[in-house]
Amino acid sequence: MLLNRPDKQDNVDDMRLTQTHLEQINANDCFKDIAEFFESVLYLHLVPQLLRHPEAFSGPGIPGDPLGRSFLERVALTPQKFRNSRLKKIEEALRIAVPQLKQLTYQKADLLSDKGIGGEEVLLLNPDDQEGTKVDLASSIQEIKDLLEGGLSIADAALPRSVPNVINLRG
């Protein structure tokens, strides 16, 4: 169903335009299922610094954790069957944006110390002010490639790059 707005009623009452049709309880009858679905969706704006260093940001968390401060903890506590199922769905969506992505897995940092994990198996997600998040294959970064060839694990070669240059603790 396609809905064109503003309609005649919107033109009479400008306040109607302060809400979408889905938000208007008296008007969204034919869209109730969609509205209820959107109420069930959790949106997170993951902040890399909070993921990497949640202990550096003291104080009470924001209700609902919209910035993902405890995101990795929640991922770790999710039963493996559900976690793998969700990661598979995320992986399928990411493959559209990142065609070179082969497999998305949940790894704890200590698992990256395994020297059997190569730079071609690790993606680095870096914030980019102009383009959102930039995704790099670890083995495509010459510095990491050199360290791996020198015998370091991917943890030793790549994880130091995950520490932000500056952490603004004052917001």
Assess if residue 100 is contained within a domain.
Answer: no
Kindly indicate the confidence band of residue 123, based on its pLDDT and cuts at 50, 70 and 90: confident
Q: How many domains does the chain have?
A: 1
Query: What is the sign of the dihedral through the CA atoms of 3, 9, 12 and 18?
Result: negative
Amino acid identity for residue 90 in this structure: I
Percent of the chain residues past pLDDT 70, beyond the cut? 78
50 exposed, middle or buried (CB, 10 Å; 0-12, 13-18, 19+)?
buried
Assess if residue 145 is contained within a domain.
Answer: yes
Assess if residue 137 is contained within a domain.
Answer: yes
Assess if residue 158 is contained within a domain.
Answer: yes
CA–CA dist 42, 48 (Å, integer):
18
Evaluate whether 29 touches 45 at the Cβ level (below 8 Å): no
Assess if residue 91 is contained within a domain.
Answer: no
Q: Which residue has the higher pLDDT, 20 or 130?
A: 20
Assess if residue 94 is contained within a domain.
Answer: no
Token pair belonging to 113: 């110390």
CA–CA dist 168, 89 (Å, integer):
33
Assess if residue 23 is contained within a domain.
Answer: no
Assess if residue 68 is contained within a domain.
Answer: no
Domain residues for the domain of 116 are 108-163
